[in-house]
Amino acid sequence: MENIIQFVYIASASLFILSLKWMSEIKTSRWGNWAGTAGMALAILATLLKPEIHGYLWIAIGIVIGASIGTPMAMLMPMTAVPQRTALSHAFGALAAGIVGSAEYFLHGSNLSMPQLIVLCIEVLLGFLTFTGSLLAFGKLQEIIPTRPILYPGRNLVSLSVFAFSLFLIAYLVIKGGSHPFLFSSIVCLSLLFGILLVLPIGGADMPTVISILNAYAGLSSSFMGFLLNNKLLIIAGALDGSSGLILSIQMCKAMNRSFTNVLFGGVGQVLEVADPSRDGKIVKSLSPKEASILFEAAKKVVVVPGYGMAAAQAQHVVKELTDVLENRNIEVKFAIHPVAGRMPGHMNVLLAEADVPYDKLVEMEEINPLFPETDIVLVVGANDITNPAARKNPGSPLYGMPILDVDKAKQILFIKRSMSTGFAGIDNDLFYSPKTIMLFGDAKKVLNELLISINSN
């Protein structure tokens, strides 16, 4: 039986690797999703066949509780809440790793060797800090707590002191050996506290990267748990999760031209102000959707820039309808995808795929930027920070140096937005005041519907 279980584990690990491979490309991403699901199902089945499992009652209870939570999350949460759902998934997975590590310590702590104690403590530290950090990320994304960085004097010193003290307690526990419940519980509490202190000062503009980093932490915690339980599949799966999350975090930081330390300690978005054009004599041009529809009569090339405004309004299906109408008029339509658009990696890709927008119409930032000067109309649907020219022109802006979509180089810009309020980074967008920009104020779905009706009637 053990040989069969190990064979199934190898098959599961192979499916996990294929899942990551296939999900690296849009065309094969569905296969990647199915491969990952099948791999996890096989892993669970093989684990349940282990001879050391003598009863299934509590396992069945756990499955029922987990399914009763997970099923509504998958079925009832809208696509716009995918970032929040991802943060919760990280929290639950990290909590599971932390609880398993804690159970191992309280059951076998006095018999663990020094290397086992080191692995266990690292697993618990990563698991519990990821748990509270992910819950806080969920709260910011859901706007239960303020999305802006919550700052206080000496915040970095406080958080790093908590982290250093937890490492000191881990070293002391490992050297002392044996069973010390109070000491171990202190490490758990400090880990939970550090997760809160880590995410609290980070603003909403950095949430996509934070989610990716927390994903890496959760994966590493699972991998260490695999070493502790001598489970090779957990080691492989956790390492895949951790390394992919780390690589994605690096790519996201590169996309924002920021470092890890800048993301974790920078506090971007600490000043949230509503733009007041009259204060500086700035001029904002706005039209109704019906008036703006006339501009499409002479257009040959249109680029749509989706952002969180599209997600919040659930306007992806109307965007697809508008695309079909424009293409029927022999207008070329492409979608400009920024790596950190929305509130999680790939957020826009997921929403547009749900609306059946063809994959070949989604163009990455590096490929689409050279095309903007020859674009007749750029339709920006609530994408604020990733289109802000201040990232190129204003050295004093917190966004300065961040690669953006060069929307301002197009011939005409239509910007759909509810109001003149700032984006997630809390910074006014210079694009609003460009002579080439026309603002279409209102809910993105409603504005797009009116625009669609007007274009059809022209």
288 and 373 fall within a common domain: yes
The band of 284, judged by pLDDT with boundaries at 50, 70 and 90, is confident
335 and 205 in a single domain? The answer is no
Q: Is the pLDDT of residue 455 over 70?
A: yes
Per-residue pLDDT band at 271 (split at 50, 70, 90): very low
For the segment 333-345, the average pLDDT, to the nearest whole number, is 83
Q: Are residues 170 and 311 in the same domain?
A: no
pLDDT of residue 275: 47
| Whether 443 and 379 share a structural domain | yes
- 182/422: higher pLDDT: 182
Residues marked active site are found at 385
Average pLDDT on 175-182 reads 85
Structure tokens, 305: 């820039």
332/309 Cα distance (integer angstroms): 23
- Counted residue by residue, the chain has a size of 458
Residue 387 carries which DSSP code? Answer: G
| 125 and 236 part of one domain | yes
Q: How confident is the model at residue 283 (pLDDT cuts 50, 70, 90)?
A: confident
Say if 394 falls within a structural domain. Answer: yes
227 lies in a domain? yes
Whether 245 is covered by a domain: the verdict is yes
pLDDT for res 260: 65
Specify the CATH number for the domain of residue 408. Answer: 3.40.50.1220
Q: Tell me what the mean pLDDT of segment 162-182 comes to.
A: 91
**Mean pLDDT calculated for residue range 302-306:** 95
Do the Cβ atoms of 263 and 209 come closer than 8 Å? yes
Tell me the residue ranges of DSSP E strands in 169-323.
301-306
Asked which of 45, 76, 107 is the last residue of a domain, the reply is: 76
pLDDT surpasses 70 at 181: yes
Q: Pull the structure tokens for residue 59.
A: 């396992």
Are 108 and 235 within one domain? Answer: yes
pLDDT in the model for residue 274: 45
State yes or no: pLDDT of 272 exceeds 50. Answer: no
Tally of structural domains, the chain: 3
Same structural domain for residues 293 and 393? Answer: yes
**Amino acid at position 353, single letter:** A
Q: Which of 55, 76, 97 is the last residue of a domain?
A: 76
Domain end (from 47, 76, 105): 76
Give the model's pLDDT for residue 270. 45
pLDDT score recorded for residue 384? 84
The answer to whether residue 84 is domain-embedded is: no
Task: Based on the fold, state whether residues 369 and 444 are members of the same structural domain.
Answer: yes
What is the reported pLDDT for 259?
A: 67
Give the residue among 210, 190, 208, 209 at the shortest CA–CA distance from 200: 210
pTM to 2 decimal places: 0.76
Which pLDDT band, with edges at 50, 70 and 90, does 269 fall under? Answer: very low
Clarify whether residues 207 and 286 are in a common domain: no
Q: Would 162 be classed as within a structural domain?
A: yes
pLDDT of residue 194: 94
How far apart CA 124 and CA 423 sit, in angstroms, is 36
Question: What is the per-residue pLDDT for 441?
Answer: 93
**Which range among 189-198, 350-359, 397-406 has the greatest average pLDDT?**
189-198
Any domain includes 379: yes
How does DSSP classify residue 295? G
Same domain, 238 and 346: no
Give domain status of residue 111, yes or no.
Answer: yes
| Cα 88 to chain centroid, rounded | 11
Q: How far apart are CA 70 and CA 162, in angstroms?
A: 33
Judge if 287 and 239 occupy the same domain.
no
When pLDDT is averaged across residues 84-104 and rounded to a whole number, the result is 90
Region 423-443 average pLDDT: 84
Report the pLDDT value the prediction gives residue 250, as an integer from 0 to 100.
80
pLDDT, tens only, 226-265: 998 888 889 999 998 888 888 888 877 776 666 666 666 6
Average pLDDT of every residue of the chain? 86
The parent domain of residue 16 ranges over: 1-76
Domain membership flag for residue 93: yes
And the tokens for 124? 């618990």
Q: How far apart are CA 458 and CA 453, in angstroms?
A: 9
With a cut of 90, say whether residue 145 has pLDDT above it: no
Burial of 421 (0-12, 13-18, 19+ CB in 10 A): middle
Which DSSP category does 205 fall into?
G
Q: Which range among 29-33, 262-266, 370-374, 387-391 shows the weakest confidence by mean pLDDT?
A: 262-266
Q: Are residues 98 and 62 in the same domain?
A: no
**Each residue of 7-64: pLDDT tens digit?**
999 999 999 999 988 887 767 888 998 999 999 999 999 989 888 888 889 899 999 9
- Show Cβ contacts of residue 140 under 8 Å, excluding neighbours closer than 6 positions: 146, 147, 199, 204, 207
> Percent of the chain, pLDDT > 70?
91
Higher pLDDT, 82 or 135: 135
| Residue 245 CB neighbours (<10 A) | 22
